[in-house]
Amino acid sequence: MAQARVRDFLILIGHTWMCLDCRRKLLEDPEATLIGHKLSEFERERLLNLTDSSFRTMMDLEAATGLTADEVSLAVDHPRSRLRHLGTRVRG
């Protein structure tokens, strides 16, 4: 059975939790980093307002993103969160 598509927002959160280089890119130039990702206005606003302190703990990340603990865990554990760095495009 195919796995349901996970929102880009979750992939961005999961990847930036693990990858310090991509987290730095997101925090330094969020507008450029978010180009090409399918995000709601709420998700975009949350990403634009992230800071270093948003990533101190998973509870801080939940509060900063509006995600639940289960959603943050899904984001961090999802295989796509590990596969692609921000700014990398996939043709298809």
Q: Where are the alpha helices (DSSP H) in the chain?
A: 8-18, 20-28, 30-33, 41-48, 58-65, 69-77, 79-83
- Is this prediction's pTM over 0.75? yes
Return the structure tokens found at 57.
Answer: 């703990």
pLDDT digits (tens, 9 = 90+) for 79-89: 888 777 776 55
What are the φ and ψ backbone dihedral angles of 42, each rounded to 5 degrees?
-60, -45
pLDDT digits (tens, 9 = 90+) for 20-40: 999 999 999 998 889 888 999
Cα distance between residue 17 and residue 73, in whole Å: 11
